[in-house]
Structure formats: structure tokens, C-alpha cells
Structure 1
Amino acid sequence: MTKVKAWVSAFRLRTLPLALSSIIMGGFLAHFYGAFNWSILVSSALTTLFLQVLSNLANDYGDTVNGADHEGREGPQRMVQTGAIGLSAMKKAIVVFAILSLLSGIILIYLAFRKVSDYQSILFFLIGLAAIGAAMKYTMGKNPYGYKGQGDIFVFIFFGLVGVAGSFYLYTQTINLLVLLPASSVGLLSAGVLNLNNMRDVKSDQEAGKHTLVVKLGISNAKKYHLVLVLVAIVTTVVFVSMHQFTPISFFFIVSLPFFARHLVVVHKASKADDFDPELKKLALSTLLFVFLFGFGLMMS
């Protein structure tokens, strides 16, 4: 494998559509409430992409150092564990993307508030620092939260509540509690992608002492948990739309339900790592489709 291919693999591009789902959802909601701004959308998307790549690189590094990535691990190869990328080079890349995330976030805050000293700017700067810390601490450091079964909570918060409701606030500078419903939808589906990842890696995680929620629950209960995540994600969006005087086209996101239904059937029948792995990309893309159909329905209402 060439160095370029190794770095592209370490970036894990298939995770990026999921990262963008929350930002796009926030943009659609801002448009519906009459506060859309292209510069905020582009800057939000760029910041999110930097954060997602940072998380992927930190995960590659942290799981190798902490032993979760080893020769017996199933699933896609990790670049540090295989030796395609050295520890030192990966550390430098993590620093680079942490800085890029920070700088992009500062630009985003300025575009949203046009100030650098008011409480809103300071609050979002702190949220940005927390997002960078969360991206790195999932598997890095002495006490990574991903090794204690807390990854799902952080994914729900940052991919859902912060990603959707936070970006919505950047457009509108108003608090709308109803936005937490579609924000929860994206957060729950994002937690579903992590759950799939952990179901795929359950054997190697057990061997490495990585106590993910799947390791704690067991595969059977993790599948039930997965079903709940997907179903509740759909219900929360249905509730959001139902609470407004929308036309039937507002429920256009229902067109995506067959993809989720197929996915749940596959997960229910899955028995080995190779069964779970393809579903990560499919659930991520289904989530993005869900968001676009939801946004289309809002715009046509």
C-alpha cells in the first residue's frame, strides 16, 4: 500500500456522509425558519469534516496503542496497527487536524456572531474545544471513554444535539426546543452506526479489554438496542412534523423507510463481522438520504 492510499484509508472517507448529516439537517431547519446562510453552512461542514477525520485518525492511533487493534481484529485494516503509518506520523496528523478544526471553528463563530468577545462566541468556542477533546479522547489517553461504554452518549450529543441544534443556533441565534426532535433523530442514527461498528468488533474488543456497550450488553441485546435506536429516530422526526401544520409532502422522508427496514432485517440475521461491516456505510448513507428527504419535505411545505 502506498503512503497516499494509507492516509486515505486512515481518513475513513465512508464516515464523512454521516458527519455531514447533522450539518445539513441544521441547514434545512434554519431555511425553514427563515435564517439560512450559505457561508455558515459551508464553514460548519468544513469544521465537521475536520473533526470527523481527526476522530478517525485518533481512533486509529488510540486503538493500536491500547491494544484493541491487533492481528486478530476483524473488519477494515487500521494503518498504525499494520505499520503502513508510523506512530509519530499519525501523532503529527492528529495535531494538524486538531489545529484545522480549531481554526475552522473560530472562522465559523465569527461568521455567525461577527464578534469574538461576547458570551455566545465564548460558549461556542468552548463547545468547539469540547468537540476536539471528544474526538481525541474516544480511544486516546489513559482513560478513553470509548473503552468504558460511553461512546454512544458522546456520539448522540455531538452528532445530534450539537451538530443539528448547535448549527441551527448559529443561523438563528435563537433557542427552539422543537429542533431537538430532528436533532435526536440524527444523533440516534449516528449512535446506530457506532453500535454496528462495535457489534462487528465485539470479539477483538473483548480480548483487548475494550468494554463498549456491545461488550456489556452482548450481541443479542445489542441488536435489540439497535432496533430501538432506528425506530425512535424515525418517531422523533414524525413527532416534529406532526407538531406543525404541514402538508402531506412534509412526511416525504418516509420514502427512506424501506432502506431502514432492510437494514434492520440484515442486522437481525447477522452472525459474523462480515455481516455487520457493509451495514455501516449503508446506514450512514440511509441517514443522509433521510435528512435530504426531510429537508425537501420542509421546503415544499
Structure 2
Amino acid sequence: MTNSISYPQKNLWMAAIKPPMYSVAVIPIWVGSAIAFAETNTFKGLCFATFLMSAIAIVAWINLSNDVFDAETGIDKNKAHSLVNLTGNKQLIFWLGNLFLSLGLLGIIAIAWWQKDLTVIWLILLSCALGYSYQGPPFRLGYQGVGEIICFFCFGPLAVAAAYYSQAQSFSAACFVASIVVGIATSLILFCSHFHQVTDDLAAGKKSPIVRLGTLKAANLLPWLCGSIYLLTSLFVVLGSFPVWTLLIWLSLPFALKLSRHALQNHDRPEQVSNCKFIAVALHFWSGLFLALGFVLAG
């Protein structure tokens, strides 16, 4: 059991705020905008900055609201770094989350106003609705083990396409294909976050993929999931969908290897495997950074 006595209060707050996790907001916007630049040779800095801040605010809403919804089911009763547990005020966290959501949507509305086009709003609203369905009542689809699928679409095809559209006001086949790679990398973070909390998930009736597979099978599956990022990128280069520069993504391979080895060696030891998700965050960040850089260099 984890408790607040075990860790300094500052560490608990940092773990609750989850600064590294906000890369899931940054990378889709970076990738979508980079592809738009490569294909149109234009870059709208104001739209990019506004979308980036909006995405960060929306991810803050997701993190805060998930803490609230998890508190309602009791799954976080042993989670010392839950914001609800740290503050003891569920309503405060709930409304703070809604404030971040409002700020994020205001930024998206501004982009749509500048473009005189509602497409970006619809894409982000759909993404937010899916994000709510992950933990929010009455859906709580994450408890049925489909959270990774929701994560894939929210931070892959929907977010990357919206970022591209905010720059080009059109859609792109290359953008869609790249969004698959980004979606897989993002879903890996959620997948890895369950290794250390199997006991709590089982007690709350949450059927995460790790619960369904068992930690050993999940750890053995992880190298294949990581490898798909590189194999798909290489395939799309061969098919001509991606420029050859996107093979820079292979520079992030050490993080994939580290993640796979760490999970396999520690899959059944919660204390040791708990940082698995942060290795997945690093993989997500660097793979997305290099993938987008490949498009920028090609452009």
C-alpha cells in the first residue's frame, strides 16, 4: 500500500500534477503541424501556439477529472498522489478540471473563428467526448479494458488531424498514417501505467489489458507494440507515404528497448515497475519529436 508518509509532500504533488505526461498534448500538435509545414510550406505560429496551450489545458482537465472519477469508485484509495486524496476536496478538483476544459475549448474556438471553419472544434469535441467516456460516468469504458483504444483515437487520428487542419484547413493521407504511429506510442503510456496497480484494478473491477492478460503476457507483448512504431514508419517510407528523413524515429529505439527490458524484468514487482509509464512517456516524446523532425527536414 502506498501512503503519504512514505514520500515527501513535494514529491507527491509533483507525481499528482504529472508534468511529463503533458507531452501527450505536445506531440500530436507538433506532428500534425510539422506535416502541414512539409506539405504546404507554411506555418501559422499563432494557431500553433494557441492549439498547444489549448491541448495542454484539455489534458489537465483529463488528469483532474480522472482523479475525481477514480475517487468515486474507490480505485485510488491507496494512491497517495491522487489530487483528490492530497487536497481532500473532490469538488475543488472537479471544478478546477472544468475550468481547464473551458480554457482549452476557448482556444480551439479562437482558431475556428480565425479560420471561419468549425472543423477543428468538431474534431476536438469528439476527442473530449471520448476522453470523458474513459473514466466518466455512466460510461467508465476504461474499466472495461478499452482505455487504450480510446487513447489511440483521442491522441492519434483526432488530435493529429485537428493540428494539421489548424494549419492547412484540409486533411492529408500522410497525416492520417502518421497519426497511427503517434496513437500507438500514446496508448503505450496508458498500457504501461497498469503494471503496478493490478491489485487495485482487480479490487475495483477494472479490467485493464494488464489485468486481462496478466503481467507476464503483457510484458512479452510490449516489445511487439514498441516495434510496431518503427516497422510502420519504415513501411510507410518504403511505400512513399513518408519522407526518408522520418527514419530518424529509429533514434528513439533505445527508449523502446529500455521499456521492454524493464517491464519484462519487473512485471510482477509493483515497486520496481511503477516507473514503467515514464519510460513510455520518454519513448512517446522522442519518437514523436524525431518523426515530426523528419517531415520538417523534408519540407
Q: Same fold (TM over 0.5)?
A: yes
In structure 2, the partner of 1:169 is 165
**Is 1:192 aligned with 2:192?**
no
Distance 2:243 2:233 in 1: 15
Preserved CA contact (<8 Å) 2:153 2:183: yes
Match of 2:26 in 1: 20
Number of the residue aligned with 2:100 = 97
Superposed, 1:1-301 pairs within 5 Å as 9-33=15-39, 34-71=41-78, 77-80=81-84, 82-111=85-114, 113=115, 115=116, 120-121=117-118, 123-244=119-240, 249-270=245-266, 271-301=268-298
Q: Contact conserved, 1:12 with 1:53, CA < 8 A, in 2?
A: no
Give the distance between the partners of 1:89 and 1:247, measured in 2 at CA.
Answer: 48
Partner Cα separation in structure 1 for residue 9 and residue 276 of structure 2: 28
For the structure 1 residues 291 and 208, does the alpha-carbon distance in structure 2 shift closer, same or farther, using more than 3 Å as the test? Answer: same
Cα contact 1:58–1:94 (8 A) shared by 2: yes
Cα shift readout 1:203-256 (whole Å, capped 9, x = no counterpart): 110011112222222222322443332111222222233333988644222122
Decide which moves more: 54-63 or 263-272: 263-272
Please list the CA deviations of residues 253-285 of structure 1 after superposition, one character each: whole Å capped at 9, or x if unmatched: 212212211221111212222233222222212
Distance 2:180 2:9 in 1: 38
Q: How far apart, in 1, do the equivalents of 2:11 and 2:169 lie?
A: 42
How far, CA to CA, are the matches of 1:7 and 1:272 in structure 2?
24
Q: Per the alignment, in what secondary structure is the counterpart of residue 275 of structure 2?
A: helix
Q: Does the CA-based 8 Å contact 1:3-1:84 persist in structure 2? A: no
Shift of 1:17: 1.4
SS of residue paired to 1:201:
helix
What is the CA distance between 1:64 and its match in structure 2?
Answer: 1.0
Identity across the alignment (%): 20
TM-aligned CA distance change 1:212 to 1:242, over 3 Å: same
Kept after mapping to 1: 8 A contact 2:33/2:43: yes
Ranges in structure 2 where 5+ consecutive residues have no aligned partner: none
Give me the TM-score of the superposition, normalised by structure 2.
0.87
Deviates more, 1:224-233 or 1:142-151: 224-233
| TM-score computed with the length of structure 1 as normaliser | 0.87
Cα 1:124–1:292 change in 2 (3 A) is closer
Give the SS at the match of 1:240.
helix
User: Could you tell me which amino acid in structure 2 is paired with residue 258 of structure 1?
Assistant: P
Matched-pair contact (CA < 8 Å) for 1:101–1:132: no
Shift of 1:9: 4.8
- CA deviations on 1:122-145 (whole Å, 9 max, x unpaired) are x43233223333333322223311
The 2-side partners of 1:9 and 1:250 are apart by 33
Residues of 1 paired with 2:153 and 2:46: CA distance?
A: 24
One-letter amino acid of the structure 2 residue matched with residue 274 of structure 1: E
What letter is aligned with 1:281?
F
Over 3 Å counting, the alpha-carbon distance change for 1:265 and 1:175 in structure 2 is: same
Check whether the contact 1:197–1:280 (CA below 8 A) recurs between aligned residues. Answer: yes
**In structure 1, distance between residues paired with 2:59 and 2:242:** 34
Query: C-alpha offsets along residues 129-182 of structure 1, whole Å, 9 cap, x if unaligned?
Result: 233333333222233111111111110001111121221122222222232222
Would the aligned equivalents of 1:160 and 1:184 in 2 still touch at CA under 8 Å?
yes
Residues 209/40 of structure 1: CA separation in 2 closer, same or farther (3 Å cut):
same
- Structure 1 segments of 4 or more deviating over 6 A? 1-7
In structure 2, the CA distance between the partners of 1:141 and 1:255, relative to structure 1 (3 Å rule), is: same
Are 1:25 and 1:291, in contact at CA under 8 Å, matched by a contact in 2?
Answer: yes
C-alpha distance in 2 between matches for 1:174 and 1:269: 46
Q: 2:223·2:256 contact (CA, 8 Å) conserved in 1? A: no
The 1:245–1:152 alpha-carbon spacing in structure 2 relative to 1, beyond 3 Å, is: closer
Asked if 1 retains the 8 angstrom alpha-carbon contact of 2:131 and 2:154, the reply is: no
CA contact (8 A) 1:182 1:236 kept: no
Aligned-residue RMSD, C-alpha: 2.5
Worse-superposed segment, 285-294 or 180-189: 285-294
What count of residue pairs does the alignment treat as equivalent?
290
Q: CA deviation at 1:293?
A: 2.0
